[in-house]
Structure 1
Amino acid sequence: MVSTQGSEASPAPGFPAQVARLRGHDLSYVDTGSGSTLLFIHGLLGSHDNWTHLVDRLDNTHRVVIPDLFGHGASAKPVGDYSLGSHAAILRDLIDHLGIAKVVLVGHSLGGGIAMQFCYLFPERVEALVLVASGGLGRTVSPLLRSATLPGAELVLPVIASSWVRERVETVGKAVRGLGWRPSTDVSAAWKGFTSLSDGESRRAFLATTRGVIDPGGQTVSARGQLVSAERLRTLVIWGTRDRMIPVGHARRAHEVFPNAQVVLFEDAGHFPHLDQPDRFASALEEFLHH
């Protein structure tokens, strides 16, 4: 896989991205604001774009750091380890690079699993934890993601992610939107992530990341019984009641890991409650941070 070159990355709207050279590869990130640090961690096939709409609301009172994980967005996509532990270690390296002692972790989906792994490996660096439709709290996960772990996915994915297929799907989408159909936030976010798989480096990173946490039967990594200091960790759990990627029942299981967690359910939101209901999400986060 090819690392990004130079010292610049594609900018987030209104928030120029910076690049840190970590372990020989370029990691793209947004860093803005001042105060205690919020470290946002996107999910599988995501990027900093999933969070930047919240920056204006938060960076007046907090420092906001939003990386593109390795294998995602404008960051490098090296051949190597894409396990939760590896991602967590890179995020530790990033905050070391930025001179940040402790962070509030905000992790969505896969990013929630990475955040919990970060808590396990580096508990002294964590002020609080926010899990958003997080992985790592149960076995169930969408069949779409389970299919990526099946034999032969390496051969199928280049075909369905090809420009020929994508152009035709987009043509159909434009036609049905003309008839009044509007895609849900989940569909729009998933499609944007899927289109990032047009190159071989991204596909390889996607498969390696997915297979590190999922098998054909579901999620393979669980936080239960792993975080011995979980009772003392201030934790907020946010979930959409219409999440079809990771069911909302996992939100209730969060208390098995974090007995004192605050659980907030967003009615009618899907797997991306921070995109479905951004104002409510920002308010819930601010209330938790200032409590």
Structure 2
Amino acid sequence: MSASYELQSVELHKDVLRYVDIGDGPPVILVHGLLGSHKSWGPQIERLSDRYRVIAPDLFGHGDSDKPSGDYSLSSHAATIRDLMEYLNIDSAPLVGHSLGGGIVMQMTYLFPERVDRLVLVSSGGLGPEVSLLLKAATLPGSELVLPMLASDWFRRNTEGVLARLGKWGVPVEPGPSMAETWRSFRSVADRSTREAFLASTRAVVGPRGQTVSAKQHFEKFESIPSLLIWGGKDRMIPAKHADNIRREVPNSRVEIFPDAGHFPQLDEPDFFFRLLDEFLAANHTDSSDADHSAPTEITPAAMPLQRP
């Protein structure tokens, strides 16, 4: 963790939630995904804190927060975000959700719409059934016995060796920030309490055939909320084609695909991601004279909007 900020703590329902609270501007809340933490946002926290008050919690069951047994459903996580906002005296804010966090912030729009000013979904869950084989396997009986081995240093070393050989054979394997963050996050399941929370969170939204929770029946909610979707074109965890589902149903939503990014576009393309997010957030604060409001297609050649049919 960067030395320029430290984690704060709050007790919610007898469990301790850890979170980052940095910056003095308008609030923005960043919600990470499965096995993630505030660290999943990389440099975005500090960069955003120059203009915004950035709140980045470690969800219960993740990072440095407590890992209680119990409810890890989307609605439970959404209630945690609501309670944190209440504690911090934040009536409403833009919500930015990555992966599972995308499902959580969408749940906020259904349960607590008055809390959501703007919605940013990054490689979000809940927009289609397809998901990686790893997550589907985690829902199967006995996966809790296999996960510790998969999180071991031995497995990591051997897998990295296989990936290196595949690269030499011409198979497109591209190690980078997304892969590094995936390994870092996945290694945390070696801890029993983290593993149990991961399985509970995963099984709440994924089954053997893919994602079991869908936002499609709630798409009309997004028509009144400015929405931005960001995806990595090389996402192997949740495919970028899911962005099409909301784009078709909510024509006013904005979709940006980073062709060379993986599941963590905020890490793979940090500069492009920041400029895009800052522009979208600044649209709520047009009196910020120092904000860069350049057109989205001018941000970078790597940030390419999907073409409408």
Question: Do 2:178 and 2:265's aligned partners in 1 also have CA atoms closer than 8 Å?
Answer: no
Mapped contact 1:120–1:227 kept (Cα < 8 A) = no
Rounded Cα–Cα distance in structure 2 between residues aligned with 1:112 and 1:176: 29
Which segments of 5 or more consecutive residues in structure 2 lack a partner in the other structure?
A: 284-309
Which of 243, 260, 263 is equivalent to 1:268?
260
SS in 1 for 2:218: coil
The 4+ residue runs of structure 1 with deviation greater than 4 A are: 171-177, 179-182
Give the superposition deviation at 1:170.
Answer: 3.8
Query: What is the one-letter code of the residue matched to 2:116?
Result: V
Deviation at 1:128, TM superposition (A): 0.2
Q: Show the counterpart of 1:50.
A: 40
CA contact (8 A) 1:131 1:238 kept: yes
Report the equivalent of 2:101.
111
- Structure 2 residue matching 1:29: 3-state secondary structure: strand
Is the 1:107–1:132 contact (alpha carbons within 8 Å) kept by the matching residues of 2?
yes
Q: Residue 3 of structure 1 corresponds to which residue in structure 2? A: none
CA distance in 1, matches of 2:162, 2:221: 52
Letter aligned with residue 166 of structure 1: D
Aligned residues: 277
Say whether residues 1:210 and 2:202 are aligned partners. yes
SS of the aligned residue for 1:56 comes to helix
Q: After the TM superposition, which residues 173-252 of structure 1 pair with which residues of structure 2 at under 5 Å, given as runs?
A: 173=160, 183-252=175-244
**How far apart, in 2, do the equivalents of 1:135 and 1:175 lie?**
29
Using a 3 Å threshold, how does the CA distance of structure 1 residues 52 and 15 change in structure 2: closer, same or farther?
Answer: farther
Q: Is the 8 A contact 1:224 1:256 kept in 2?
A: no
Kindly state the Cα deviation for residue 235 of structure 1 after the two structures are TM-superposed.
0.4
- RMSD over aligned CA atoms reads 2.1
1:172–1:266 distance in 2 versus 1, CA, 3 Å: closer
**Distance apart, 1:174 and its partner CA:** 8.8
Q: TM-score normalized by structure 1?
A: 0.89
Q: Deviations over 1:48-83 (max 9, x none)?
A: 001141123211221100000000000000000000
| Alpha-carbon spacing, 1:27–1:226, altered in 2? closer, same or farther (3 Å) | same
Evaluate the alpha carbon distance shift between residue 108 and residue 188 of structure 1 in structure 2; reply closer, same or farther with a 3 A threshold: same
Aligned residue among 147, 153, 166 for 2:153? 166
Would the aligned equivalents of 2:42 and 2:267 in 1 still touch at CA under 8 Å?
no
Distance across 2 between alignment mates of 1:260 and 1:235: 8
Q: CA deviation at 1:230?
A: 1.5
Counterpart CA distance in 2 for 1:221 and 1:14 is 38
Which range is displaced more, 112-121 or 185-194? 185-194
Identity, in percent, stands at 50
